[in-house]
Amino acid sequence: MALFTGAGVAIVTPMYENGEVNYEKLGELLDFQINNSTDSIIICGTTGEASTLTHEEHIEAIRFTADYVKKRIPVIAGTGSNCTETAIYLSKEAQKAGVDGLLVVTPYYNKATQKGLIAHYEAVAKSVDLPIIMYNVPGRTGCNIAPETAVKLAKDVENIVGIKAATGNMAQETKTMQLAEGCLDMYSGEDGLILPLLSIGAKGVISVLSNIAPKETHDICAKFFAGDIEGSRQLQLKAINLVDALFCEVNPIPVKHALNLLGMEVGPLRMPLTPMEEANLARLKNAMAEFGLFN
């Protein structure tokens, strides 16, 4: 059984102007997502600026989210690291916090061979009893999980159950699904490719777009699963310009700006992320207006 089906939000980490995590606002964002049909919360991923959170902040954000959501929908914690021991530590702490699953990115910067990826994921999976979704985003990590590697891990390790596919390579993702023969759940890691990946058997999306358009992102998936392929297609096409604007600078710079433009007051980014260029901010505003996010 899949950890979740549909649209999971890769939620931002709201901050005060002094850079501290704003837990009161995080609670508001969690309610906003749940009230607008989001199917799962993914806390402390790339969009949550996990790479600039201290370990203490990282664990507290996970704990707060699990406690606040109270099993209304699944909570999946990002616990990946380029250090295997750190990934194990964060994964164990997330399990103690009561989350439903883990999202574990491939080691970044130091990378790994395919043999190293197998050893890394086996070690993390062995340390916990939670289901694990591997996160393959070579554009950010410089490390790619080959289809054969992903499938071997899913077949050999009981609690490795899924992959967040953010390669942008439909041929690779199709090969993964073909080799998996149903043993591995796939989630789109690209908001512009939700419907194409659903068409080859993906269970849903782990989404940046959901931060500002949760109902529409949910509906892309829900309509597809209900057999309304045309309705799903129309929503996917409608979202493309907004998706492009949300990634015109490195994530999560645009999405945090977008939430602030909507009055959600999620605060600043942590360096080395910096405010948007004016031209890109104007592009984002135009795309949000075109999508219908402004009255």
One-letter amino acid of 43: I
Q: Is 111 a catalytic residue?
A: no
Residue among 135, 187, 203, 256 flagged as catalytic: 135
The catalytically annotated residue of 25, 164, 203, 256 is 164
| Partners of 40 in the β-ladder | 8
Residue 135 designated active-site: yes
Angle at Cα 232 formed by Cα 223 and Cα 48, nearest 5°? 90
Residue 153 burial class via C-beta count within 10 angstroms: exposed 0-12, middle 13-18, buried 19 and up: buried
Cα separations in angstroms, 218 against 38, 110, 200, 242:
6, 35, 18, 16
**Sequence-ordered strand ranges (E) for 95-183:** 101-105, 132-136, 160-165
Instruction: Give backbone dihedrals phi and psi of 226, rounded to 5 degrees, phi first.
Output: -85, 0
| DSSP assignment string, 184-227 | SEEEES-GGGHHHHHHTT--EEEESGGGT-HHHHHHHHHHHHTT
Catalytic residue numbers read 135, 164
